[in-house]
Amino acid sequence: MRDAYIVQSVRTPGCKQKKGLFNQTRPEELISFIMKEAVERTVNLKPEDIDDVMLGCAFPEAEQGLNLGRIAAKMAGFPDEVSGATVNRFCASGLEAIALASVRVSAGWSDICVGAGCESMTFVPMGGNVPRPHPEYSKTYPEMYVSMGITAENVASRYKVSREDQDIFAAASQAKATAARDNGKFTEIIPTPAYKYVVQPDGTYKKETFIVEHDDGIRLSTPEGLAKLGAVFKVNGSVTAGNSSQTTDGAAASIIASKEKCKELGLTPIARLVGYTTVGCKADEMGVGPKYAIPKVLKQVGMTIDDIDIYEINEAFASQALHCIRELGIEKYMDKINIHGGAIALGHPLGCTGAKLTATCIANLREVGGKYGVVSMCIGGGMGAAAVFEKL
């Protein structure tokens, strides 16, 4: 197996579904822009050097359909010879895409491959436009189709995660994200063009462009303020809009190259994927996935929780993130976990999230002078995924 190195990792801002700044910007425009920027910002790399694109997308239909991986490559200006595929592992799709891109390079199937993620939850909502659960199986095993919010309620009640603790955790996420935004810590973000359609005097619409520089869902909160919000998934429940991840639009891309190609073209490695794993769990408590996936990947690479400098654990819900942190025994390392906030403040653009968190993890390792980072998330249907990255 060959050495595979990440030579670039960037993301767009994340913007709120329907109410955010990307609500009239199609997913193809987001992902093609960030892929083009990833190449252009990599010294000595040209589009024709890319062999293949692995693109994560949780609901690859409608505007995100027809093999978005190939369409995005063409819209980015890559030549015909650059192929593309769309990868779906729900919330881990972007991380899966980066893992597959790394494997392709390590196996010698590609010399340079893009691992990316994209989701516009404005254009394609959670569950897709026309969900069709199997009629008999949905009666036998309805947990496979249950709302993610109900799974978060299940985690909260089964594992005794209090509403107060969830709101404290959520407020902390917002506070960290606010401070990071205000102090220019999101160095992995590329200011991204967005579009809006403005009605003209003659009744036609003009497509206008503006630039989005920051995640637009950050909202400084207090536990006391969040405590006033009502539960949204269960009567007398504890999971609210304030302690859940935001549904979001966004895209991210990493470029992975072989050691040989780095030497040939003069590319500078910035990180590498050390290990990656997935694991299944009960579908009706899918949020517990990281507590199984993180130990599994650490065992795979011969490391322990004490070896990790940065944890990016997706905050699908405060209940599940808190439970996993406690079960993993890493509460003592809260200063290493989601140091600039998580999905409660920054959003969870489904198929983009793994690619987005990879860019964030690498940037944060650089900031703190760390060497090893973990990216992990729970996955709809009852799974967890985790990866270990090494900063070079």
pLDDT confidence tier of residue 213, bands split at 50, 70 and 90: very high
pLDDT at 252: 99
Given 57, 91, 352, 361, which residue is catalytic?
Answer: 91
**SS3 state of residue 211:** strand
Give 187's contacts (C-beta < 8 A, 6+ positions apart). Answer: 363, 366, 367
Establish whether 340 is a catalytic residue: no
pLDDT at 87: 98
- Partners of 385 in beta bridges: 278, 377
pLDDT digits (tens, 9 = 90+) for 42-59: 999 999 999 999 999 999
Given 15, 118, 361, 378, which residue is catalytic?
Answer: 378
pLDDT at 214: 98
Give 240's contacts (C-beta < 8 A, 6+ positions apart). Answer: 167, 226, 229, 230, 231, 232
pLDDT at 392: 97
Handedness of CA 154, 158, 163, 167 (dihedral sign): negative
pLDDT at 212: 98
pLDDT at 310: 98
pLDDT at 282: 97
pLDDT digits (tens, 9 = 90+) for 220-273: 999 999 999 999 999 999 999 999 999 999 999 999 999 999 999 999 999 999
pLDDT at 246: 97
pLDDT at 190: 98
Distance, CA of 177 to CA of 222 (rounded, Å): 13
Q: Are 90 and 350 in contact (CB under 8 A)?
A: yes
**Whole-number percent of the chain with pLDDT over 90:** 100
Given 324, 348, 352, 361, which residue is catalytic?
Answer: 348
Element (H, E) at 118: strand 112-120
Domains of the chain and any CATH numbers = 137-185+274-386 (3.40.47.10)
Establish whether 281 is a catalytic residue: no
pLDDT at 34: 99
pLDDT digits (tens, 9 = 90+) for 76-125: 999 999 999 999 999 999 999 999 999 999 999 999 999 999 999 999 99
What is the value of pTM for the model shown? 0.98
Q: Are 69 and 355 in contact (CB under 8 A)?
A: no
pLDDT confidence tier of residue 26, bands split at 50, 70 and 90: very high
Closest CA to 116 of 144, 145, 96: 96
pLDDT at 197: 97
pLDDT at 262: 98
Establish whether 348 is a catalytic residue: yes
Q: Which two tokens stand for residue 144?
A: 């496979």
The CA-based angle 318-351-270, given to 5 degrees, is 95
pLDDT at 68: 98
pLDDT digits (tens, 9 = 90+) for 275-309: 999 999 999 999 999 999 999 999 999 999 999 99
Distance, CA of 179 to CA of 161 (rounded, Å): 26
pLDDT digits (tens, 9 = 90+) for 136-185: 999 999 999 999 999 999 999 999 999 999 999 999 999 999 999 999 99
Q: Are 155 and 320 in contact (CB under 8 A)?
A: yes
- Partners of 198 in beta bridges: 206
